[in-house]
Amino acid sequence: MTEKRIPDPTLMARLQLSAKGVDWAASLTAHRQHEQPNGEWSAHQHVFHLLAVERAVHRPRAERMVAVDSPSFTDWDQDAHMRNGYSKAQDVAELAEEFMRERERTFEFFKSLAPAQWARRGSWPEIGPVDVAWVAERAVAHALDHFKALLWVHEELERFHAVQWGWRPGGSTGQ
């Protein structure tokens, strides 16, 4: 039987790859970064939110769980943050690069943990007791949720992808 490793080796790769996926997906809509299809969040809003959550929720809470016995966390109000803190000042590409840097810091934090530290616990709002490994998985899932949302924004705003790739009517179809 294969010995289990702590952390799951795929987790560390997924932490990094999920950020790269967000960066790529954000680049697809950079030229229309503030458009809100069907009144939903724009690509810019998605990446702004991801960056804020990386800085204010996932890494800080995991750090606190390692440092303090069984901390309890209060709900982080994303609606209030977007209402009071959202800014269009930075370009979506800059936000995505900043998110990748923050994710790298998160990755380095998780990489530094001893096996027993992954089992440290805290109480997550509306969820209850979780361990540090759950927080790492949540960070991955959160980035993937917004990766999917960024792809949806791209699909809604750009209906002719071949034209974006450089295809022109009367040009080569590749056949």
Strand extents, DSSP E, 36-114: none
CA–CA separation, 145 and 151 (whole Å): 10
Which stretch of DSSP H or E encloses residue 52? helix 43-53
Q: In this predicted structure, which of 30-34, 40-44, 61-65, 168-172 has the lowest mean pLDDT?
A: 168-172
- What does the pLDDT look like over 106-154, one tens digit per residue? 999 999 999 999 999 999 999 999 999 999 999 999 999 999 999 999 9
- What does the pLDDT look like over 33-54, one tens digit per residue? 999 999 999 999 999 999 999 9
CA–CA separation, 47 and 27 (whole Å): 11
**Any bridge partners for residue 121, and if so which?**
131
Q: What domains lie within the chain, and their CATH numbers?
A: 10-161 (1.20.120.450)
pTM: 0.89
Tell me what pLDDT residue 2 has: 58
CA-closest candidate to residue 49, choices 5, 14, 82, 9: 82
Question: β-strand 121-124 against 128-131: which pairing, if any?
Answer: antiparallel
